[in-house]
Amino acid sequence: MTIPVNKPKDLFKKCFDFTLADEVKAQGLYPFFHPIDETEGPVVSFAGRQLVMAGSNNYLGLTADPRVKQASINAINKYGTSCSGSRYMTGTVNLHIELEEKLADYFEKERCLLFSTGYQTGQGIIPTVVQRGEYIVSDRDNHASLVAASIMAQGAGANLVRYNHNNMEDLERVLQKIPESAGRLIVSDGVFSVSGEIVDLPELVALAKKYNARTLIDDAHAVGIIGKGGRGTPSEFGLVDEVDLIMGTFSKTFGSLGGYVVGEHTVIDYIKHNASSLIFSASPTPASVAAVLATLEILRTEPQLTEKLIANTDYVRQGLLKAGFTLMPSRTAIVTVLISDQIKTLVFWKKLFDAGVYVNAFIRPGVMPGHEALRTSFMATHEREHLDKVITEFCTIGKELGVI
């Protein structure tokens, strides 16, 4: 055996060299992983201090709804706390089937398949349907989970090509280059998660038809917000039949945890029997599924919640625009304020936090340099006083930091 003269490289060197988080902590500006002690509607408590939550994806505020909570409690009492196995084997309970049937019906598609998270949903669909030699055609601003799923497919021999964000001319340029003999899937967020912008779905679907591409829309931030009765982006444009696969998450409007995909029965059946993230991972808990069943019922019967959410978001958007902030283009429940500077974003975030407003700071590597921003999002359960507090604190700090 030869003994190396120099010690071979330690795999963990990169971890020891990673100092960014500690540096930001030392400056007292660290915006991540702050534990909430208690939640009361849109007000949360940090170390006993109350803050207006203006960064949650709990869009309809249903995680706190007594009917939703009770549904979870009832499910735990009936089925226990976990299914302790994959849907494929021993982890399917009646509630999974009931929810799949009800979601397929709600989204007006033939079949639905549940996953344990939204992240795993993309991982289940993309590498399963796009195989060696085939093409994923992906918007450059797609959610990180879709990017990770696409890279996974690429590792198994699929081709990943990207087009400029929501730019249909660029999408066509990319589609033109794909050999006719290869299958192709266009993948896009319905509502983009950082900006809240809506995809140009009519044009995307027209190009899919022209180039015989299949389509996957991730509607995580659209359900409960746009479309008929909150049915999301394809419904918003009257294009439910034209989109092949629609996926989403339960961690936002549905007030729970898990994910789903809806589409035609043969494709859903294929994914069901081949998706690694479904077959080799435990099924969504009974409590999570029961919460979604309760939320879905509320979504069907209380459209006023969506109306209130949109009115709340518009109120904040108008307030911030009037004050002179630069916002990303959105008419959904996301209002993203461009700061365009990393330190200023962190300082702004900290000052808002100290003033009693909790938002999300988007810095590198989450966004490109120059695109640093504060992402706010609103709930149907915010009242005027909460929204006024958000606008007032933004304006005071914005002036102080020279942002407006």
Cβ proximity to ligand PMP: between 246 and 305 the closer is 246
Which of 143, 308, 350, 382 is close enough to bind ligand PMP by CB under 6 A?
A: 143
Which of 124, 224, 259, 398 is close enough to bind ligand PMP by CB under 6 A?
A: 259
Which span (69-77, 87-95, 115-123, 276-284) binds ligand PMP, by CB under 6 A? 115-123
Strands 135-139 and 159-163, sheet pairing: parallel
Q: Which residues pair with 49 in a beta bridge?
A: 46
Minimum gap (Å) between residue 64 Cβ and ligand PMP: 18
Minimum gap (Å) between residue 259 Cβ and ligand PMP: 5
What one-character DSSP code corresponds to residue 177? Answer: T
Which of 31, 118, 124, 230 is close enough to bind ligand PMP by CB under 6 A?
A: 118
**CA atoms of 1 and 65, how far apart (whole Å):** 66
**Beta carbons of 272 and 113 less than 8 angstroms apart:** yes
**CA atoms of 92 and 13, how far apart (whole Å):** 43
Minimum gap (Å) between residue 144 Cβ and ligand PMP: 8
Which of 215, 251, 285, 306 is close enough to bind ligand PMP by CB under 6 A?
A: 251
Minimum gap (Å) between residue 143 Cβ and ligand PMP: 3
218 is a contact residue toward ligand PMP (CB under 6 A): yes
Cβ proximity to ligand PMP: between 192 and 325 the closer is 192
DSSP codes joined into one string, 330-368: -SSSEEEEE---HHHHHHHHHHHHHHTEE-EEE-TTTS-
**Beta carbons of 395 and 323 less than 8 angstroms apart:** yes
106 is a contact residue toward ligand PMP (CB under 6 A): no
Which of 213, 220, 278, 335 is close enough to bind ligand PMP by CB under 6 A?
A: 220
Token digits of residue 275: 């998706």
Edge-first strand order for the sheet with 360-362 is: 334-338, 373-377, 360-362
Which of 58, 123, 128, 145 is close enough to bind ligand PMP by CB under 6 A?
A: 145
Give the phi and the psi of residue 43 in degrees, each rounded to 5.
-110, 130
Supply the angle between the helices 265-274 and 118-129 in degrees, to the nearest 10: 100
289 is a contact residue toward ligand PMP (CB under 6 A): no
Which span (29-37, 217-225, 269-277, 337-345) binds ligand PMP, by CB under 6 A? 217-225
Provide the terminal-to-terminal Cα distance of the chain, rounded to the nearest Å: 67
117 is a contact residue toward ligand PMP (CB under 6 A): yes
Cβ proximity to ligand PMP: between 52 and 220 the closer is 220
Centre a 10 Å sphere on the Cβ of residue 220 and count the other Cβ atoms it contains. 26
Nearest to 192 by CA among 404, 367, 5: 367
Q: Hey, what amino acid is at 251?
A: S
Q: Burial level of 210, CB count in 10 A (0-12/13-18/19+)?
A: exposed
Tokens 């959904």 -> residue: 332
Binding residues for ligand PMP restricted to 310-329, rule: CB under 6 A = none
Cβ proximity to ligand PMP: between 190 and 398 the closer is 190
Look at residue 261 and give its three-state secondary structure.
Answer: strand
Binding residues for ligand PMP restricted to 168-197, rule: CB under 6 A = 189, 193
Minimum gap (Å) between residue 219 Cβ and ligand PMP: 8
226 is a contact residue toward ligand PMP (CB under 6 A): no
Cβ proximity to ligand PMP: between 120 and 306 the closer is 120
59 is a contact residue toward ligand PMP (CB under 6 A): no
Cβ proximity to ligand PMP: between 54 and 395 the closer is 54
User: How many residues sit close enough to ligand PMP to count as binding (CB under 6 A)?
Assistant: 13
**CA atoms of 166 and 202, how far apart (whole Å):** 12
Which span (99-107, 195-203, 213-221, 229-237) binds ligand PMP, by CB under 6 A? 213-221
Supply the angle between the helices 201-210 and 168-176 in degrees, to the nearest 10: 20
Token digits of residue 389: 């507090």
375 is a contact residue toward ligand PMP (CB under 6 A): no
Site residues for ligand PMP per CB under 6 A: 117-119, 143, 145, 189, 193, 218, 220-221, 249, 251, 259
